[in-house]
Amino acid sequence: MFKKKILIPINSDLYIRNYIRTDSFQKLNKEYSLYYIANYNIYNRDEVSKLENFCGFYSYKKYEEIRHQRIFNTLMWRFRKISTSFVYRLKWFSQIDFKKKKFLELLIKIFQLIKFRIFIQFYGSKIIFPFFKKFYMETTKPNNELENLIIKVKPDIIVVPSQAQCSTDNDIIKLAKINKIKTAFLVDNWDNMSDKSVMWNKPDYIGVWGEQSKMHALEIQNFDEKKITNLGTPRFEHYFFKRNEKLKSHFNFNYILFLGTALEFDEINILKILDNFLVQNSEKFKNYKVVYRPHPWRMSKEKIDLNKFKNILIDPQVKDSYLKLENSAAFQPDIDYYPSLIQNCDFVVGGLTSMLIESLIFYKKYIVAAFPEKRFNNQNNSLRYMVHFKELHKVENVSICENKLDLEKELLKCFGNIRTFIDRDKIDQQRNFFVYKDDRPYSERLFEYINRVNSDKILEN
């Protein structure tokens, strides 16, 4: 029987972990012929090259990436009024750390910043932008190696795990339109519809996390509602099955889980508060520790001195990477480790991270530590500006603390309510707004979605 061809580009190591290792394409593979290509810059090249029907690698030259990034940044400036996340990113990109820079480095940074601001504000202005779009954006040629691979495979559909804004995604959409190939994007992360920039080339169809990102796709990315499907995400899929099992703990003590973030914030200060809280209440809360899980790809270079804490330990899964200050995407933590880590904690404290959603899947109380700081890039400003965090205050199992006193009050409240009744249906309903989940596994939802793409029978969810 003739099977239609689907091409799946792998542009990030995250997609190997989130889609390939989770067998998200397993059901698709029974009805379609799947072909794979990958960006040569990924770390796990050996793994992806062993996939059945792997057709080759493509790579981007530096000037190609720079040209695309200029477009993304200009679009962020041009459309900054439709998303406060764009404003946040532009302000963040414009920060200069005067304390750490040597004089020459400081001059170079100032020059680069002036050049950056002049470019986006000039070409993103109301009068100049139409010319920028016509003579710069529309004349940007797709990557030649990517084009050759698409022509070689001749797919009927290109299914793209995506973070919404990168050179590969934009070129695939352009090449697909030229060659009359359908495109179906799979949004990979929570913030991708609201804070990366606007999509200047749009795929034919897009599968999003849930109602919140669907709303962002409509209001910020200007998609046709009938082209948007709530899919959820495969990276959380196994949690929904594991949460009903009794999982053996990685530790032989009670613990609070503390989660760091990719963006910088003063995690050490929060750890001090947690440690002091347990010391001061040692009689009441015996045998409690704080398991600190720094983000695997954090930007901060600060490192805690464990000798200064009595009740803090680093999560063993990321300990070596953290102590060596390695934050490369080459390190991809096994997601099978997460369910026990979350299920067996009493509650979670942390920054604004997608692991907040994972904690809600396990019905865990999540305390957001969003303290103001002197530097602009901090959790308090993330809370104020970033659009995908706006509805968190509506989630009953999430508490937001903006100072030490509120955090300590919330800790006491949590310890007093660990064993109380939890309305799981309500938590699921509130979480479903962010990440959609029905009774079927992700692979089946994806299969149905692609069948509808194939037949052009996409309807509203």
Q: Return the sign of the alpha-carbon dihedral for residues 378, 13, 323, 289.
A: positive
Please give the DSSP secondary-structure letter assigned to residue 363. Answer: T
Please give the full DSSP string across 106-174, using - where no structure is assigned. Answer: HHHHHHHHHHHHHHHHHHTSTTTHHHHIIIIITTPPPPHHHHHHHHHH--SEEEEEE-S-SHHHHHHHH
How high is the pLDDT of residue 460?
A: 47
Q: Beta-carbon neighbour count of residue 110 at 10 Å?
A: 13
**Do 215 and 192 form a contact (C-beta atoms < 8 A)?**
no
Distance, in Å, from the CA atom of 133 to the CA atom of 160, rounded to the nearest integer, reads: 25
**Do 211 and 437 form a contact (C-beta atoms < 8 A)?**
no
Distance, in Å, from the CA atom of 82 to the CA atom of 122, rounded to the nearest integer, reads: 19
Task: Give percent of the chain with pLDDT exceeding 70.
Answer: 95
Distance, in Å, from the CA atom of 175 to the CA atom of 147, rounded to the nearest integer, reads: 7
Query: Per-residue pLDDT averaged across 213-226, rounded?
Result: 96
Q: How far is CA 237 from the centre of its chain?
A: 15
Is the pLDDT score of 332 beyond 60?
yes
Distance, in Å, from the CA atom of 121 to the CA atom of 261, rounded to the nearest integer, reads: 30
Task: Give percent of the chain with pLDDT exceeding 90.
Answer: 77
Phi, psi dihedral angles at 424 (to 5 degrees) = -65, -35
Please give the full DSSP string across 393-404, using - where no structure is assigned. Answer: GG-TTEEEE-SH
93-152: pLDDT as tens digits: 888 877 766 778 888 888 999 999 999 999 999 999 999 999 999 999 999 999 999 999
396-417: pLDDT as tens digits: 999 999 999 999 999 988 886 6
The tokens describing 225, both together, are: 């509602």
Is the pLDDT score of 376 beyond 50?
yes
Residue of higher predicted confidence among 305 and 313: 313
Query: Per-residue pLDDT averaged across 40-51, rounded?
Result: 95
Is the pLDDT score of 33 beyond 70?
yes
Distance, in Å, from the CA atom of 256 to the CA atom of 237, rounded to the nearest integer, reads: 24
Is the pLDDT score of 434 beyond 60?
yes
82-110: pLDDT as tens digits: 999 999 999 998 888 777 667 788 888 88
Distance, in Å, from the CA atom of 3 to the CA atom of 101, rounded to the nearest integer, reads: 58
Phi-psi region of 301 (alpha: psi -120 to 50; beta: other; left: phi over 0): alpha
Average pLDDT score over the chain = 91
pLDDT band at 326 (very low <50, low <70, confident <90, very high): low
- Beta-carbon contacts of residue 146 (< 8 Å; ≥ 6 apart): 9, 37, 58, 168, 171, 172, 175
261-293: pLDDT as tens digits: 888 788 999 999 999 999 998 887 788 999 999
How high is the pLDDT of residue 285?
A: 78
* Location of structure tokens 């530590």: 369
Q: Which amino acid is at 311?
A: N
How high is the pLDDT of residue 420?
A: 58
436-448: pLDDT as tens digits: 999 999 999 999 9
Phi, psi dihedral angles at 266 (to 5 degrees) = -80, 75
Is the pLDDT score of 50 beyond 90?
yes
